[in-house]
Amino acid sequence: MPQFFLNKRLIILLVSIIVLVALIGFSLREREKVTWPEQFLKDMTGFVQNALSGPTNYIAGFIENVQDLQNTYSENQELKPRLDKLASLEAEVQRLKKDNAELRDIVGKEDALSQYEPIQATVIGRNPDRYHENLIINRGENDGIQADMAVITANGLIGKVKNAQSFTSTVQLLSSMDPTNRISAAIQAEDNKKVFGLIEGYDKDKKLLMMTKIPYDAEVKEGQNVISSGLGGVFPEGLIIGKVVEVENAEYGLTQTAYLETGADLYDINHVMVAKITSMSAEIQEELQSTLEEEEEEE
């Protein structure tokens, strides 16, 4: 049927399906950096988004303020007793900080995994199609942001930087489905013990984060706090992730899986901080690098 193959539209359709598959395959590949035309387009739309999100932010802020005013009385009642405790807490924190610094001096270890420098950023966009939970923020490489940095709000961890352009960056939320998105975390169990596990995936039905690979004999209870462990070397230590809601045995019963409620609201996000690690001294980095290389050689 020569006529069938001469149909121009059919050829265009077939060629575009091939290109479609190739493009999807290209963009799903794990990429260290997005290509420069993508970066350019993202930055250009970033300018427009910045310009438009300014006024909307202002209006939304105003509405929020009015709503806050309505609850002022009850909030005040609740906060007054806490205020009394604050002074003593502050004094204790000061003392502990000093203690900590002195002890570090004695041990000779200056850096901690928990040290980071927060970079303030404003959310200027969110993916409308909601399959990929991405945010766009108005800070980029020029402000020191790099891929894989932790993104937090005042209430805890919300995600990581997926990729950074010069003036904007894309943030991947904890709730997005990505099998490569793993965070080393620790549950603060009783008696100051830490139970380690991995944050891996999001249960869409329960709307809860999943923490897997918890040892089967660890005693994990509801309501315990979960923080980042800092062992991955990418995220700083001690960022609040959430609270345990439910614990169950994983498949085969060798490990446990905990379901966490995130501390931060993953929907109502306007201002975020990007945690730039400052503590990674050259020594630690070399050590990490060498262990990684060893592991690769073993494989």
Partner 1 sequence: MRKYLLPFLFLFLFVFESIFVQYLPTEMFGSDRITVPRFLIISILFLTVFSSRKYGIIYGIIFGLLFDIVYTGVIGIYLFSFPIFAYLMSKLMRILQTNIVMVSLASLLLIVLLEIGVYEINVVINQTDLSFADFASLRLLPTVVLNSAFIIIASYPLKRHFEKFMASVSD
Number of other CB atoms surrounding residue 263 within 10 Å: 20
Window of 53-61, 103-111, 149-157, 242-250 that interacts with partner 1 by CB under 8 A: 53-61
For residues 24 to 43, the per-residue mask of contacts with partner 1, x marking binding by CB under 8 A and - elsewhere, is x-xxx-----x---x--xx-
- Please list, in sequence order, all residues whose beta carbon lies within 8 angstroms of the beta carbon of residue 83, skipping any fewer than 6 positions away: none
Which position among 128, 191, 223, 297 is part of the footprint of partner 1 (CB under 8 A)? 128
Q: Which of 23, 89, 93, 101 binds partner 1 (CB under 8 A)?
A: 23
Dist. CA 12–CA 118, nearest whole Å? 50
289 binds partner 1 (CB under 8 A): no
Q: Under rule CB under 8 A, how many of the chain's residues touch partner 1? A: 42
Determine the Cα–Cα distance for residues 259 and 246; give it in Å rounded to an integer: 5
Indicate whether 20 belongs to the interface with partner 1 (CB under 8 A): yes
Residues 6+ apart with CB under 8 A from 211: 185, 187, 197, 198, 199, 200, 226, 244, 257, 258, 259, 260
126 in contact with partner 1 (CB under 8 A): yes
CB count within 10 Å of CB 127 equals 14
Residues of this chain, 92-121, that bind partner 1 according to CB under 8 A: none
Distance (Å, whole) CA 251 – CA 185:
20
**86 is a contact residue toward partner 1 (CB under 8 A):** no
Which listed residue (113, 119, 121, 136) binds partner 1 by CB under 8 A?
136
Query: Does residue 139 bind partner 1 (CB under 8 A)?
Result: no
Contact present, 119 and 137 (Cβ < 8 Å): no
Cα 297–chain centre separation? 30
Would you tell me which residues interact with partner 1 (CB under 8 A)?
Answer: 16-17, 19-21, 23-24, 26-28, 34, 38, 41-42, 45, 48-49, 52-53, 56, 60, 123, 125-132, 134, 136, 162-163, 170, 177, 204, 207, 267-270
